[in-house]
Structure 1
Amino acid sequence: MPNRLAGATSPYLRLHAGNPVAWFPWGDEAFAEARRRDVPVVVSIGYSTCHWCHVMARESFEDAATAADLDAGFVAIKVDREEHPEVDAAYMAAAAAFTPSLGWPLTVFVTPQGRPFFAGTYFPPEPRSGLPAFRQVLAAVREAWTDRREQVDETADAVVSALAEAGAPAAGPAAAPRLPTVAELAAAAASLASREDPEYGGFGGGGPATPKFPVATALRFLQAPALRDAFPEATGVADRALAAMASSPLRDDVEGGFFRYATRRDWTVPHYERMLTDNAQLLDVALDAHREDVVRGLAEFLIAVLQRPDGGFGAAQDSESWIDGARSEGGYYARDADSRAELEPPAVDGKIVTGWNGLAIGALARAGALLDDPTMLEAARWAADAVLETNVAPDGSLVRASLDEIPSRARATLADYGQLASGLAAVAVATGELAYANRARGLVDACLDATGGIGVPGGSDPVLAEQGVGAPDAASDGDEPSGFAALAGAAASLWLLGAGESYRGLAERIVTAHAVDALAQPLAYGALLRVAAQLATPPRQIVVVSADSSDPLVTAARGIRADVVAIVDEEQAQAWSAAGFSLFEAKTRAGGVATAYDCRDFACRLPVTDMAGLSRD
């Protein structure tokens, strides 16, 4: 049996390389084989740190009898949802037609033409708690395919038609698009704050067994400077959520990182995987909440645990590890520091996801600049260089991920472009190095066609496109900023650096297109609403020109919470200006000493050369 997964650029696929199942990776080859044999396709979607994915693998995919059933009646495809988020989103949308209990592992049955006709999540090896055994599901699907093909085709056509309708623009009259006002944003924040758990913090309530997620995108919206006067209570909601999580079992007090979520309302009994997305975003939350202890713990986790030898940050750390010869979920994290030292830590998924690295790069750059911490800054710069070296195709477009410096064949998403561009812009500001800002600008520009349309360079996943299967083009957040929100945020960052009004225009266009939904559902659109808040009030930008990074004026400027705080020398300021970043025009050292320029909405006050002249407000 050919082993098609051994050389995959996904640790999740490599975990399944030794299964007795004749797995295919995602691609045309699997569907061509299904057409040749006239059998349905099983698409099994998961990720390397998913506990129930591991369980189903041990119970079913490592079982010879189950593998024989799969190979005899199906073509089996294994997909890493983190490597192919578009595939996951499309099939997750299709699965909603068959089960309300969505999650991973996701098991989708499709025709050789790629049209879904049945789906579920985890299936046990024997019937359990109302779930049929996986082999029973295989037998039933195979019987339907053989004896009731017409019914199968009708179901598949109906599902694909429903997905197409869901992805179509809404019909009917709509209000003229415009940016949300500060008052509207404050009302959305108040609506979000009304969902605060008054006893344990965070969002939600209900019974003690109610799961709780960090929802970092929503917390970041509540921390938007535009809300400080319009809805002062917003900051308190975010601060209380972070404080509750930081003092709970959701946070690993030995290594500093946060777990994916808690299975109980009081933040206890965590789901123990530790994701790059969550921890990168929570670092920004902690930075704005003035929790330096949490910031440094998160930075230590990112650098010491997730950062790989090539500089990029791995996608996640597993929930399971080996203890006393058995797999244990969370057992490693229950030990103290000394006991852990005796154990092999849970595996890190070393896959370098482009956009997720952008989130970490930006957070570490901002923290490193504000706290004047060279270790954080160097980690951010190292990761940025690694991603730009490896996760870029020969034609200059981004790829979704890489593993061991080998790029994946999966195309980058809009979120990858926006998140990486934002991270690079933050590194540029923190270091004064123009090259990162130029790359950020190039990534945003690449997402615009000749008519100003927004899209991913190279288009969507080619297999899904050929099959006519897709998911709604959502601007709502999952556990990370959506593609639209990320691109809007990157464009706004470039505008703040003086790259031009066209970038503000792009951010405005994205925000206005989704403003009605975002204001009505703030918990699901936190990242977009934060950009809206940034656009709703005049920005404050500070540029300090100094030949000495330890000058007291530089130190004073770093401590100011402004939209931009850039520290450059005269040569750097001239380079930024020459490259079209107008914020740096005519910025020099007055009288040969460090000079600060305090700009409000791009109108700069008289330059100052002493700390007393630099207002904190």
Structure 2
Amino acid sequence: MANRLRDATSPYLLQHADNPVHWWEWGPGAFAEARERNVPVLLSVGYAACHWCHVMAHESFEDDATAAYMNEHFVNVKVDREERPDVDAVYMQATTAMTGHGGWPMTVVLDHDGAPFFAGTYFPDRPRHGQPAFTQVLQALTEAWQDRGEEVRRVADQLREHLAMSAQLPAGAVTAELLDGAVATLAEEFDPMAGGFGNAPKFPPTMVLEFLRRYASGEETESVRQAKHMLARTTAAMAGGGMYDQLGGGFARYAVDRGWVVPHFEKMLYDNAQLVGLYARLGTEPGDRIARETADFLLRELRTPEGGFASALDADSPDPATGKSVEGAFYAWTPAQLVEVLGEERGQWAAGVFAVTENGTFEHGMSTLQLRHYPVGAEDQGRLADVRDRLLAARAERPRPGLDDKVVAAWNGLVITGLCDAGLLLADQQYVDAAVVAGELLERLHLVPTDTGDRSILRVSRDGVAGSHAGVLEDYGCVASGFLSLVQATGDAKWLTLATAVLDHALAGFRAPDGGFFDTHADAEALVARPRDPGDNASPSGFSSMIHALVTAHALTGEGRYRDAAEEALATIAGLAERAPRFAGWSLAAAHTMLAGPLEVAVVGPAGAERDALADRARRIPGAVVVVADGPRDDVPLLVGRTPVDGRPAAYVCRGFVCERPVTSPDKLP
């Protein structure tokens, strides 16, 4: 019998619709029920592609006895963290404060006002590895609620106070010296052997790498050399390891080991949306290859029938031999399987090239595919192309991982920017065309006109129907940035109008008194605390994405209020950027661009090779905002008064409120 989740739009919630647990969606009804029954609220947060969420569901939420206890002693609420990042953010902060770590599945127990008094992550069905069984935890919580109410209230009050205080951020100036210090700190945390930062597990540090790319464009110093080395070493290591899909393109969410060999196999839109642009912007032959393969993966496997992009591919898929759902079953290989598909000689060659061993680099004698050394000779490159095509075709016959097909506004904004960069820098129009279609979907389904003429955002849609959840700050920043990328890729001023309408709504509703931003709009549902986290995680924070959008909007429009808002917000990030630059990479990238100008380039003149050469050179300047047109236009302020020079295409370069004489040769550009 289905529970209350049967009418949900989230694929994650629908995965739990047939649980014997009487799940509620997040909302006032659940808390009213808890008050009436005088029981606590058990909040379980996860997402559709989460391996350990599936494990806990199978062990506990599908178990009749466990579900019966939960139903009797709790009101149980299930939340998709990707659909409600505001709820997730508040209670993840509480979980980290109480346990010292976070992650999903997240299990939090709340009082009737939503204040947490217990938090944890995964709990096994039986005592294991020093962890109590989930049922033991539930029983202890029930006893505490019934017999130690004063203690419960004290813990809840302490957590409520902690959450309220965490919204206060120290201010400070973001200077060139701070950026130098950030590079020095990153160099201390850099892994010289394997690339990346810290030890296992390793997540793609995409935003930090973009900061390093921009920083490395400066005059040659020891810091610049360090930045170049960290960038090159890490991008090569990620692309050559098992975290990258050597057959189908695209990156898994993270590597469980130091050397990027074994991934956690889920493939997230937000990772690949950022990485496709990063690799395209490297301007190297390997970078172009990875960018193209990742863009093709996005279009082939994550594009929805409506033209948006789905959220994720699951880590698990059915094992062809047993039918049991296994992590990595779709992606891993044995030497025998390679020989079966390719024949003896070519199979052995492929095993050597992809580091597939008899013992296996993963589990059960299976290996992930690595490609640490891309073949140089034409003959070996041809052989590799043949091998990859045949293995990809054979893999397509395996049971596929599940697809979380909801469309998230923020992540589609990210993919629009990534595909625009790939399309322009790789000279492949299909990627820009796909970005335009995704932008049109966001405009059609996710943008809502307001009484003031601005645009608010709905966070998710599925099957061409928008959900009811309001967008959070990251939706506004990433969608506005995506639209501004479309202005630069297509020259269509409608995207500038939409971007500024989104930004104006965000500035009116998300700003904090100190000039920073809250993660939820002033009119949003009130939670136990109003979330505010400027730190980047696997994707840009709403804070850093807003700064990027504001900087670009100022460059295109000349509107000083956008620049002012960006500068005031950046002043609130100085402490985090100095203390933990790994979690402020996107803000540091924006800060570098602002301190450098930013560089604004208008390329005007008749279409053709000359204009293309100017535009291509301009687009390869780190952080530059570039628009291209046949001649002067009034609908994009950066193009006002810009004319060709003696009939030839010309580039107009402005930096820091000062414009230079137009140039007609790419060599004259910075």
Q: Common fold, TM-score beyond 0.5?
A: yes
TM-superposed CA distance for 1:557, in Å, is 2.3
Out of 174, 198, 205, the residue aligned to residue 204 of structure 1 is: 198
CA 1:469–1:298 in 2, change beyond 3 Å: closer, same or farther? same
User: Any idea what SS the aligned residue of 1:42 has?
Assistant: strand
Q: How does 1:381-460 map to 2 (within 5 A)?
A: 381-393=436-448, 395=450, 396-449=455-508, 454=517, 458-459=521-522
Q: How does 1:549-564 map to 2 (within 5 A)?
A: 550-560=608-618, 561-562=620-621, 563-564=624-625
Question: 106-115 or 220-229: which moved more?
Answer: 220-229
Structure 1 equivalent of residue 385 of structure 2: none
Structure 2 equivalent of residue 194 of structure 1: 188
Does structure 2 conserve the Cα–Cα contact (< 8 Å) formed by 1:429 and 1:565?
yes
TM-superposed CA distance for 1:603, in Å, is 4.1
**Residue 251 (str. 1) matches residue 306 (str. 2):** no
For residues 663 and 156 of structure 2, what CA distance do their matches in structure 1 show? 68
For residues 501 and 207 of structure 2, what CA distance do their matches in structure 1 show? 25
Does structure 2 conserve the Cα–Cα contact (< 8 Å) formed by 1:332 and 1:343?
yes
Does structure 1 conserve the Cα–Cα contact (< 8 Å) formed by 2:3 and 2:21?
no
TM-superposed CA distance for 1:227, in Å, is 5.1
Q: Deviations over 1:7-45 (max 9, x none)?
A: 212110011111111111111111111111111111000
TM-superposed CA distance for 1:74, in Å, is 1.0
CA 1:275–1:606 in 2, change beyond 3 Å: closer, same or farther? same
**Residue 232 (str. 1) matches residue 224 (str. 2):** yes
One-letter amino acid of the counterpart of residue 615, structure 1: K
Structure 2 equivalent of residue 60 of structure 1: 60
Out of 343, 347, 354, the residue aligned to residue 398 of structure 2 is: 343
TM-superposed CA distance for 1:606, in Å, is 3.9
Structure 2 equivalent of residue 366 of structure 1: 421
Out of 574, 579, 583, the residue aligned to residue 520 of structure 1 is: 579
Does structure 1 conserve the Cα–Cα contact (< 8 Å) formed by 2:124 and 2:133?
yes
**% identical aligned pairs:** 41
Does structure 2 conserve the Cα–Cα contact (< 8 Å) formed by 1:86 and 1:461?
no
Structure 1 equivalent of residue 351 of structure 2: none
Q: How does 1:209-288 map to 2 (within 5 A)?
A: 210-225=200-215, 228-229=218-219, 231-233=223-225, 234-288=227-281
User: Any idea what SS the aligned residue of 2:627 has?
Assistant: strand
TM-superposed CA distance for 1:178, in Å, is 2.9
Structure 1 equivalent of residue 100 of structure 2: 100
One-letter amino acid of the counterpart of residue 558, structure 1: D
For residues 598 and 526 of structure 2, what CA distance do their matches in structure 1 show? 44
Structure 2 equivalent of residue 331 of structure 1: 329
TM-superposed CA distance for 1:463, in Å, is 4.7
Does structure 1 conserve the Cα–Cα contact (< 8 Å) formed by 2:2 and 2:17?
no
User: Any idea what SS the aligned residue of 1:68 has?
Assistant: helix
**Residue 178 (str. 1) matches residue 179 (str. 2):** no
TM-superposed CA distance for 1:198, in Å, is 1.0
Does structure 2 conserve the Cα–Cα contact (< 8 Å) formed by 1:186 and 1:227?
no
Does structure 2 conserve the Cα–Cα contact (< 8 Å) formed by 1:27 and 1:463?
no
CA 1:34–1:106 in 2, change beyond 3 Å: closer, same or farther? same
For residues 439 and 394 of structure 1, what CA distance do their matches in structure 2 show? 10
**Residue 313 (str. 1) matches residue 309 (str. 2):** yes
For residues 520 and 34 of structure 2, what CA distance do their matches in structure 1 show? 30
**Residue 24 (str. 1) matches residue 43 (str. 2):** no
Structure 2 equivalent of residue 77 of structure 1: 77
For residues 457 and 388 of structure 1, what CA distance do their matches in structure 2 show? 21
Does structure 2 conserve the Cα–Cα contact (< 8 Å) formed by 1:9 and 1:406?
no
Does structure 2 conserve the Cα–Cα contact (< 8 Å) formed by 1:485 and 1:510?
no
Does structure 2 conserve the Cα–Cα contact (< 8 Å) formed by 1:43 and 1:78?
yes
CA 1:87–1:385 in 2, change beyond 3 Å: closer, same or farther? same
Q: Deviations over 1:397-437 (max 9, x none)?
A: 10121121222222211111111111110111110011111
For residues 418 and 516 of structure 1, what CA distance do their matches in structure 2 show? 22
Does structure 1 conserve the Cα–Cα contact (< 8 Å) formed by 2:46 and 2:104?
yes
CA 1:606–1:149 in 2, change beyond 3 Å: closer, same or farther? closer
User: Any idea what SS the aligned residue of 1:409 has?
Assistant: coil
For residues 96 and 77 of structure 1, what CA distance do their matches in structure 2 show? 20
TM-superposed CA distance for 1:151, in Å, is 2.0
For residues 445 and 505 of structure 2, what CA distance do their matches in structure 1 show? 18
One-letter amino acid of the counterpart of residue 407, structure 1: A
Question: 595-604 or 49-58: which moved more?
Answer: 595-604
Does structure 2 conserve the Cα–Cα contact (< 8 Å) formed by 1:180 and 1:512?
no
CA 1:154–1:520 in 2, change beyond 3 Å: closer, same or farther? closer
Structure 2 equivalent of residue 120 of structure 1: 120
- Give the gaps of 5 or more residues in structure 2: 334-390
TM-superposed CA distance for 1:110, in Å, is 0.8
Structure 2 equivalent of residue 293 of structure 1: 289
Does structure 1 conserve the Cα–Cα contact (< 8 Å) formed by 2:30 and 2:75?
yes
The count of aligned residue pairs is 594
For residues 490 and 232 of structure 2, what CA distance do their matches in structure 1 show? 29
Does structure 2 conserve the Cα–Cα contact (< 8 Å) formed by 1:202 and 1:237?
yes
Does structure 1 conserve the Cα–Cα contact (< 8 Å) formed by 2:518 and 2:533?
no
User: Any idea what SS the aligned residue of 2:175 has?
Assistant: coil
One-letter amino acid of the counterpart of residue 425, structure 1: L
CA 1:103–1:398 in 2, change beyond 3 Å: closer, same or farther? same
User: Any idea what SS the aligned residue of 1:232 has?
Assistant: helix
TM-superposed CA distance for 1:450, in Å, is 9.2
User: Any idea what SS the aligned residue of 1:78 has?
Assistant: strand
Structure 1 equivalent of residue 379 of structure 2: none
TM-superposed CA distance for 1:480, in Å, is 1.4
TM-superposed CA distance for 1:537, in Å, is 1.4
For residues 116 and 380 of structure 1, what CA distance do their matches in structure 2 show? 41
Does structure 2 conserve the Cα–Cα contact (< 8 Å) formed by 1:299 and 1:376?
yes
Does structure 1 conserve the Cα–Cα contact (< 8 Å) formed by 2:174 and 2:574?
yes
Structure 1 equivalent of residue 45 of structure 2: 45
Q: Deviations over 1:140-192 (max 9, x none)?
A: 2112222222222222122212222223456xxx7xx43312x3312311221
Does structure 1 conserve the Cα–Cα contact (< 8 Å) formed by 2:3 and 2:19?
no
TM-score (norm 2): 0.84
For residues 50 and 594 of structure 1, what CA distance do their matches in structure 2 show? 51
One-letter amino acid of the counterpart of residue 332, structure 2: A
TM-superposed CA distance for 1:602, in Å, is 5.1
For residues 421 and 492 of structure 2, what CA distance do their matches in structure 1 show? 14
One-letter amino acid of the counterpart of residue 410, structure 2: G
One-letter amino acid of the counterpart of residue 112, structure 2: P
TM-superposed CA distance for 1:526, in Å, is 0.6
For residues 3 and 297 of structure 2, what CA distance do their matches in structure 1 show? 35
Q: Deviations over 1:481-531 (max 9, x none)?
A: 112111111010112223322221111111112223312321111111111
Does structure 2 conserve the Cα–Cα contact (< 8 Å) formed by 1:312 and 1:357?
yes
Structure 1 equivalent of residue 626 of structure 2: 565
One-letter amino acid of the counterpart of residue 368, structure 1: G
CA 1:225–1:115 in 2, change beyond 3 Å: closer, same or farther? closer
TM-score (norm 1): 0.91
One-letter amino acid of the counterpart of residue 65, structure 2: A
Structure 2 equivalent of residue 164 of structure 1: 164
User: Any idea what SS the aligned residue of 1:257 has?
Assistant: coil
User: Any idea what SS the aligned residue of 1:34 has?
Assistant: helix
TM-superposed CA distance for 1:455, in Å, is 5.1
Does structure 2 conserve the Cα–Cα contact (< 8 Å) formed by 1:306 and 1:314?
yes
Question: 105-114 or 455-464: which moved more?
Answer: 455-464
TM-superposed CA distance for 1:82, in Å, is 0.8
User: Any idea what SS the aligned residue of 1:119 has?
Assistant: strand
Question: 445-454 or 282-291: which moved more?
Answer: 445-454
Question: 399-408 or 380-389: which moved more?
Answer: 399-408
